[in-house]
């Protein structure tokens, strides 16, 4: 009878350590996966809000162009002389040249 009581107490302690492991895994997951992704999304949103006429961009489809007009939900970008495309704001990223220049400027500061 006493052996049963000892085994029961050990099993309860194991349950607490299991819960602590799950909490620790969640904390690790948050700091290595969720938080960096939220930072990247915030930077991209900030970039898109700062775009103005004349900015060079790349669309999600890989089209390079220059912004000619900013509207509520889209940009009008010129990809060649006289050729303009209407592109959703969510599919615009900084051009590689602009990104490299910004990285160099931040390293110099």
Query: Which residue spans within 15-59 are E strands per DSSP?
Result: 56-59
Other Cβ atoms closer than 10 A to 77 = 23
Q: Which two tokens stand for residue 37?
A: 């992704």
Strand order in the sheet with 74-80: 83-88, 74-80, 64-70, 56-59, 92-94
Query: What span, in angstroms and rounded, lies between the C-alpha atoms of 83 and 87?
Result: 13
52-109 belongs to CATH 3.40.1010: no
Domain extent listing, the chain: 1-50, 52-109
What pairing do the DSSP bridges indicate for beta strands 83-88 and 74-80? antiparallel
pLDDT at 28 over 60: yes
Mean pLDDT in residue range 75-81: 93
Q: Average pLDDT over the chain, rounded to whole?
A: 80
Return the pLDDT at 44.
Answer: 82
CA distances 72 to 42, 44, 69, 75, Å, are 19, 17, 10, 8
Q: Give the burial class of 92: count Cβ atoms within 10 A of its Cβ; 0-12 exposed, 13-18 middle, 19 or more buried.
A: buried
Q: What is the pLDDT of residue 100?
A: 56
pLDDT digits over 79-90, tens only? 999 899 999 988
Mean pLDDT of 27-54: 88
**More confident position, 108 or 109:** 108
């Amino acid at each position: 009878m006493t052996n049963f009581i000892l085994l029961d107490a050990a099993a309860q302690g194991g349950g607490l350590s299991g819960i602590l492991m799950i909490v620790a895994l969640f904390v690790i997951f948050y700091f290595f996966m969720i938080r960096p992704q939220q930072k990247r999304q915030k930077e991209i949103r900030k970039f898109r809000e700062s775009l103005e006429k004349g900015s060079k961009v790349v669309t999600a489809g890989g089209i390079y162009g220059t912004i000619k007009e900013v509207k509520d939900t889209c940009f009008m970008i010129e990809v060649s002389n006289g050729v303009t495309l209407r592109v959703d704001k969510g599919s615009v990223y900084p051009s590689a040249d602009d990104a490299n220049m910004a990285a160099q400027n931040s390293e110099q500061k």
